[in-house]
Every structure is written in structure tokens, then in C-alpha cells.
Amino acid sequence: MVTNRQLSVRHPVYQLLEPHFRFMLFDNQLGLEYFLNPGGPVERFMAGTLEESLGFVRQAYKDWSLADAELPAELAARGMDDREALPHYPYRDDGLPIWNATERFVRTYLSLYYRTPQDLA
């Protein structure tokens, strides 16, 4: 929402994020209408009531951090980043090269517009 409301469609961050947001509002609305209603799948298939399930999510969200959701941090938090202890772990072995390539691309792209922290400010 912030991207759409605050950034020009020509802003470099908008350009990077727009493809990922294309159907997000529709998907969120569908989720609200279909999953999160009395008698819906969450209430039918999850333990507890809909309100109890939503309370669990609310509580988990209080402790959630975007930085903790980054792949390297998430792997480290679960102890899955040690290649010697776990030499074959496809999620890590396939995911980290993609993560690193994406991070390099985004940094390189944004550095065309923001060469210093002062430029960003």
C-alpha cells in the first residue's frame, strides 16, 4: 500500500516491487472472504475457533521481524546454515545463490539512483 500511495510509478523501488504486488490486493481480499470467515476453512480445519486462530497469528506477528524472515537469518535461526553439520540441504543450497543474486541485482540497480546514504535521505 505504501509503495502505491507514496512512490511515483517511475521511482526505482516502485519499479522493482510492482510485479510482486500485481495481484496481492486481489489475493488478500480473496483470503479474507474465503478463509477468514465464520465456518470457513480456517475454522473447519484448524484446531480451535476462528478467533483463537486469529489470536495466535496476532501474537506471532508481535514478535515477527522482516529481518528475521530473510533467508540467511532464517537458516541461521534454525541451525541450517552450517554446511559441515548439514552438508546436503537443498533449501539452503539452492536458495542462497538465488537470494544472493537477487540482493546483488537490487543493490546494483538502486546504486544507479542512490550512490550515497545522503542521496537516499
Tell me the pLDDT tens digit for each residue of 4-62: 888 899 999 899 988 888 888 889 888 888 888 888 888 888 888 889 988 988 999 89
Shared domain check, 74 and 59: no
47, 64, 81 - which closes a domain: 64
Shared domain check, 32 and 4: yes
Mean pLDDT, rounded, for 80-109: 96
Question: Which triple of cell numbers denotes residue 98?
Answer: 538465488
Question: Which triple of cell numbers denotes residue 78?
Answer: 534454525
Shared domain check, 80 and 60: no
Alpha helices in the chain (DSSP H): 2-6, 12-21, 24-34, 41-45, 50-63, 71-77, 90-111, 117-120
Structural domain boundaries, residue 39: 1-64
Domain tally, the chain: 2
Shared domain check, 27 and 54: yes
At 115, which amino acid appears?
Answer: R
